[in-house]
Amino acid sequence: MSELFDAVDALLASRAKLPPPTERKRLRAAHGLTIEEVAGALRVRRATVSGWEAGKTEPRPPERDAYARLLDKLAELYPADSVAPVQEAMAPPSSTGRPAPTQIQPTGAASEAAALTATENIPAPVPDTPAVAAPAATTRLARTTRSLSTSRRPDAKKAAPSGTPASNTEPRFVNGPLAVVDVEGDGTVLAYCTGGLVLDVPAKSIPALVDWTLRAAKLGQPKLAGPGKDADPLIVLTESALERYGLPVTLTEQEKHAGRIPDGHKVIKQLTRAEWKLTKRGFGPWARIYRPTTGSERSCVQLCIPSWNALDTRHWGEAGKLPPAELARVLGVYASRVMTPRGSTAVTGLELMTALHPPTRASEPDAAGKRHSEHNPGSLGKDAIDPMNWPPCEVPDGHPVLQDLPRFHVRGPGEKLFEEAYDWARPMTDAECTLRHLVGIDVNMAFAAGANGLTVGLGEATHVKAPAFDPNMPGSWLVDLSHVDLSRVKVGKEWVELDGSLLPSPFTPKGERPTGPAWYATPTVAYAAELGYKVQPIEAWVRYDNGRYLDGWYQRLRDAYLATMADLGVDADLAPSDFLSAMDGYKGRDPELAIVTTAIKATVKGGLGKLRERPRGEGWRPGEPWRALSRPTWRPDIRAAVISRTRINLHRKIVKHAAFTGQCPVAVLSDCVVYAAGGPSPLDFLPYREGKPLPGGFKLGINPGLVKWEGTQDLLWGEEVRERFDAPELNLARYIKDGTVTDVDHGE
């Protein structure tokens, strides 16, 4: 009999009455509960509770009964002034276990067509016809409230960060920026969107899938800047979806080398018959399928194929092997906080610059009342700089402007701008050898911080002879800095004495003191003047048209990183000891969000690297132009300026620390610095006083430009490694994280 009563109770629970979504949120907030606390108590994801409060999804047994009980108790404690009508229960689930799908009418593709970048050479004419509504059609949409993150712990903190695209208020993109398409065992094709939303996919071919995505799926992302364009929807195809739509699960070696499947593949023929086009890179891991723009109808879809190595494991970890719902979550968080991926993290980093500073905008109406496309001030423009107008010192070897140089000529510092990150180390002193530990600290998002507030050139450079140095003028300067002596430098307004032999030079990546005139970016020359030394350039290439082009790019990536780290339990305002504790094992709290942090950092470095993209096959020969040169965003001068400023920022902190404590680093690699210390923690050598750091020195924290603990090894480990490889100046910063050193690392 008790089993029958239990069955009846379960049946009643399945129809437990719930207040409207707004009342659910009010009751939770009235008791001071966070969404995370409710999700943890009910053992569901944060996004699930958010969906309940937004009215996008409804709880199902057994969570529904528990959730109703919670709300009933809260309603007794915090009664409303007027009782709102109780929301109707959900329709009973279908025999498949998913909620019964509902019939909806799509609104059609009412948004403007998304413009494509110059790298893909797709024309995007100015719309001159009214928007054409999509033909009436129906699609099945199913919403699920079951846990979509089966591999996550029930008590994981902040399982689904706030700000996910699922809560997008833009009607055209109500289902988020992307979907992961997968095929269930019974042959049902499902599209897993962000926020726990699942759509039934009726498409039986790739052309039909593209058409469904544009006309019925309501996927996409609003533009990031006023004159910009909305982001195209992204469809991720799992291995089962590839098989369903006639695509190979993996690429052959020949296809991997080509980066695409053959043009004669049956799926490409299907697209051609349906009058869809592919970009010049063809049907590869990041395929873009489009039709030329007509009116304001968006007609471009991007595909991401993880099993074709679309999600590089160096930047996305094991994301490509996640179940569909978890993969949708990872990519959705990244899309909502950075942008919808447009390719690799490097490609996306570069595209983010353009999305925040579109090259063109609509002009004011002319005499006839028509608007025209014009240059958008503050952007890099829609036209690339003529390859032959580049300063010879700023371009990499093989560039067309260097075609008259003798073969095998090696340019020296007086011919080539060489602003790169640090790779410097020195032997340890006797005093340092008495200490027990080597402690590494790492600058958070160092290159992003280097871009913050940096003035860069927007247009072409002007050549000047014997100019007066202007620290506010972006450019490249030929100047002799060999007279700068680190043994006596200005720190603030005071001159200080240091042991210059224990410090790297700020003017060369290897930390060696320059021996004569060399080309430097503006931040490097400005730092020489800051140290108290006179600088007199011999010549320069300066850019009078300039601005803080990267500020918005930095701010968006910074906010994305800080929000994701906060979801992992690492806040920006923690005390030093609390920060070190919060960073200990933070990736294990939510491995999926940890993937997002890695991807964000890769977006920074990769985006800056793309500013000086080199030839990638293409049958290129030295002296000939390559494809990347046709982009307005091919800007090696901007890359050099960011790296210069990043290196200088680090050196400034090193000098401040040395002036105050007498301690100098034993190794520096990019944004990692290693010191000998008496204890294993950064707090054993960083000069904190009453919780406050040295002004202008190293400060523990998660913000870009602050430092975190990188790793600690015994000092004897460092001596043994250097002795084993007979290298007294081996850069220990390269191995400080886990202490692993192999012969392969040195090519032996």
CATH number at residue 58: 1.10.260
Using only C-alpha atoms, the chain has a radius of gyration, in whole angstroms, of 29
The residue type found at 339 is M
Task: Tell me, yes or no, whether 281 and 399 share the same domain.
Answer: no
Q: How many CB atoms lie within 10 A of CB 121?
A: 11
- Scanning 568-590, the segments in alpha helix (DSSP H) are 576-583, 586-589
Task: Tell me, yes or no, whether 67 and 184 share the same domain.
Answer: no
The values of phi and psi at residue 97, to 5°, are 95, -10
Beta bridge partners of 442: 672, 708
Calculate what percentage of the chain has a pLDDT beyond 70. 84
The model's confidence at residue 12, banded by pLDDT at 50, 70 and 90, is low
> Which of 60-74, 236-250, 645-659 is predicted least confidently?
60-74
Indicate the helix (H) or strand (E) that contains 240: helix 239-244
> Which of 121-125, 315-319, 364-368 is predicted least confidently?
121-125
The residue with greater pLDDT, 382 or 393, is 393
> Which of 144-148, 420-424, 626-630 is predicted least confidently?
144-148
pTM to 2 decimals? Answer: 0.79
Tell me: the pLDDT tens digits for 621-655?
Answer: 999 999 999 999 999 999 999 999 999 999 999 99
Task: Tell me, yes or no, whether 71 and 119 share the same domain.
Answer: no
How far is it, in rounded angstroms, from Cα 199 to Cα 179?
A: 9
Tell me: the pLDDT tens digits for 471-517?
Answer: 999 999 999 999 999 999 999 899 999 999 999 999 999 999 999 99
What is the predicted pLDDT for the residue at 443?
98
Tell me: the pLDDT tens digits for 25-53?
Answer: 888 877 878 887 888 888 887 778 887 88
What is the predicted pLDDT for the residue at 36?
78
For residues 286 and 304, the answer to whether their CB atoms sit within 8 Å is yes
The residue with greater pLDDT, 65 or 5, is 65
Encoding tokens for residue 455?
């003035």
Query: Hey, what's the torsion of the CAs at 568, 569, 573, 578, to 10 degrees?
Result: -130
Task: Tell me, yes or no, whether 7 and 128 share the same domain.
Answer: no
Task: Tell me, yes or no, whether 14 and 138 share the same domain.
Answer: no
Domain membership of residue 41 (yes or no) is: yes
How far is it, in rounded angstroms, from Cα 623 to Cα 398?
A: 5
Task: Tell me, yes or no, whether 50 and 7 share the same domain.
Answer: yes
Encoding tokens for residue 267?
């799926």
The candidate with the shortest Cα–Cα distance to 247, out of 256, 238, 258, is: 238
Domain membership of residue 106 (yes or no) is: yes
Beta bridge partners of 301: 289
Task: Tell me, yes or no, whether 114 and 66 share the same domain.
Answer: no
Encoding tokens for residue 567?
């979801």
What is the predicted pLDDT for the residue at 387?
93
The values of phi and psi at residue 182, to 5°, are -140, 160
In DSSP notation, 402-441 reads GTTSPTT----TTTS------EEE-PPPHHHHTS-EEEEE
Task: DSSP letter for 113, please.
Answer: P
Beta bridge partners of 140: 103
Task: Tell me, yes or no, whether 171 and 254 share the same domain.
Answer: yes
How far is it, in rounded angstroms, from Cα 451 to Cα 550?
A: 6
For residues 300 and 116, the answer to whether their CB atoms sit within 8 Å is yes
Task: Tell me, yes or no, whether 278 and 323 share the same domain.
Answer: yes
What is the predicted pLDDT for the residue at 43?
84
Task: Tell me, yes or no, whether 44 and 107 share the same domain.
Answer: no
Check pLDDT > 70 for residue 144. Answer: no
Domain hosting 8: range is 2-77
Domain membership of residue 695 (yes or no) is: no
Residue found under tokens 């450079």: 461
The model's confidence at residue 57, banded by pLDDT at 50, 70 and 90, is confident
Task: Tell me, yes or no, whether 399 and 312 share the same domain.
Answer: no
Tell me: the pLDDT tens digits for 291-344?
Answer: 987 665 668 999 999 999 999 999 999 999 999 999 999 999 999 999 999 999
Check pLDDT > 80 for residue 680. Answer: yes
The model's confidence at residue 425, banded by pLDDT at 50, 70 and 90, is very high
What is the predicted pLDDT for the residue at 50?
80
Mean pLDDT of 682-705: 94
Q: Which of 529, 547, 565 is the last residue of a domain?
A: 547
Mean pLDDT of 226-238: 94
The count of residues in the chain is 748
The model's confidence at residue 105, banded by pLDDT at 50, 70 and 90, is very low
For residues 290 and 300, the answer to whether their CB atoms sit within 8 Å is yes
Burial class of 580 by CB neighbour count within 10 A (0 to 12, 13 to 18, 19+): middle
The candidate with the shortest Cα–Cα distance to 477, out of 563, 539, 558, 564, is: 539
Q: Which of 518, 547, 576 is the last residue of a domain?
A: 547
What is the predicted pLDDT for the residue at 182?
97
Encoding tokens for residue 242?
């590839």
Domain membership of residue 116 (yes or no) is: yes
For residues 627 and 614, the answer to whether their CB atoms sit within 8 Å is no
The model's confidence at residue 66, banded by pLDDT at 50, 70 and 90, is confident
- Sequence-distant (≥ 6) Cβ neighbours of residue 383 within 8 angstroms: 632
For residues 307 and 318, the answer to whether their CB atoms sit within 8 Å is no
How far is it, in rounded angstroms, from Cα 275 to Cα 355?
A: 28
Task: DSSP letter for 125, please.
Answer: P
Largest Cα span, the chain: 99
What is the predicted pLDDT for the residue at 69?
87
Q: Which of 500, 517, 547 is the last residue of a domain?
A: 547
How far is it, in rounded angstroms, from Cα 712 to Cα 691?
A: 22
What is the predicted pLDDT for the residue at 13?
53
Check pLDDT > 80 for residue 224. Answer: yes
Domain membership of residue 675 (yes or no) is: no
513 to 535, 640, 728, 734: CA distances (angstroms)? 16, 19, 19, 22
Average pLDDT, the chain: 86
In DSSP notation, 507-569 reads TSTT-PPP-SEEEEEHHHHHHHHHTT-----SEEEE-SSEE-TTHHHHHHHHHHHHHHHHHTT
